[in-house]
A = this chain, B = another copy of it.
Amino acid sequence: MPLEKLSESRAFGGVQGVYRHASEATGTDMTFAVYVPPHEEGTRLPVLWYLSGLTCTHANVMDKGEYRRACAEHGVILIASDTSPRGEGVPDDASWDFGQGAGFYVDATEEPWAANFRMKRYVEDELPALVAAEFPVADLTRQSIFGHSMGGHGALTIALRNEGRFRSVSAFAPIASPLNCPWGEKALGGYLGADKAAWRSYDACALINDGARVDELLVDQGEADGFLAEQLKPELLAAACERAGIPLTLRMQAGYDHSYLFILTFMADHVAWHAERLKK
């Protein structure tokens, strides 16, 4: 798996890099961003995976997420992937919430998506293996994961399906239950077909109800988020966690919307929270 370096720049004493590789999972080139904080040569650092929301590439959180100061302070690597395969020859849809930019972190089974839209396999298996091989500074025995909106859904479901892999999981304004919102209906219906039994392993609430567990959850949610009531529904996650006995810290943030200005406000909090658990 050769890795092409697209850029590397110094930031807060570390290096913000962007890399591209040919993905077996998606059958396309995939681009991702890695921030490696300053560190003594030979030390290995824990890894925090960030999954982005609808329409985003690796670049949105890299440009707007304001994570580097906190990652440098805590000695944590942050890796941001793309949200779907892209490019000519890859199926797409005219809408912004389905197709390219909207992979939903699933392995599609429906045509024409099944050949390329395999973001579960990409994020769960291929990208970690690539990072392990190409970034010896990354200590993958210490991993955590978080994300925003569709990426919050991705972080929660990946952590729930892989019990014990992550030290911690958190989310900004996650889609709590794709089974119960228009974004989820459209995306999971399109990628996985009409049988909703197949959707359950891509729904944080259904996974919890079906027995999956994580030690605890941290979720920030803006109260002025225009998607709150119809799409995000943190109350469903709260109910599932309550029934399952999973400690959920759900912080409703007055006045905050769904934008990066919400994410960046609470980014350092989340990085610090993960760092504490990554260093135990």
| Interface positions of A from 129 to 186, Cβ below 8 Å from B | none
Question: Would you call B9 and A262 a contact (CB within 8 A)?
Answer: yes
Q: Which residues from B are CB-within-8-Å of A63? A: 63-64, 260
CA A19 – CA B259 in complex, angstroms?
17
Question: Would you call A11 and B261 a contact (CB within 8 A)?
Answer: yes
Residue of B nearest to A258 (CB): B9
Question: Would you call A261 and B69 a contact (CB within 8 A)?
Answer: no
Q: Which residues from B are CB-within-8-Å of A69? A: 66, 268
| A265 on interface, CB distance cutoff 8 Å | yes
A204 to chain B, nearest CB (A): 26
> How many of chain A's residues have a CB under 8 angstroms from any CB in B?
23
Q: Which residues from B are CB-within-8-Å of A222? A: 10
A10 and B255 contact, Cβ closer than 8 Å, known pairs A16-B261, A261-B16 = yes
| A68 on interface, CB distance cutoff 8 Å | yes
Q: Which residues from B are CB-within-8-Å of A10? A: 222, 224, 255-257, 261-262, 265
Sampled A-B contacts (20; CB under 8 Å) = A9-B257, A9-B259, A9-B261, A10-B222, A10-B255, A10-B262, A11-B261, A11-B262, A11-B264, A11-B265, A12-B265, A16-B261, A63-B63, A63-B64, A63-B260, A64-B64, A66-B66, A66-B69, A66-B264, A68-B264
Q: Which residues of A contact B (CB under 8 A)?
A: 9-13, 16, 63-64, 66, 68-69, 222, 224, 255-257, 259-262, 264-265, 268
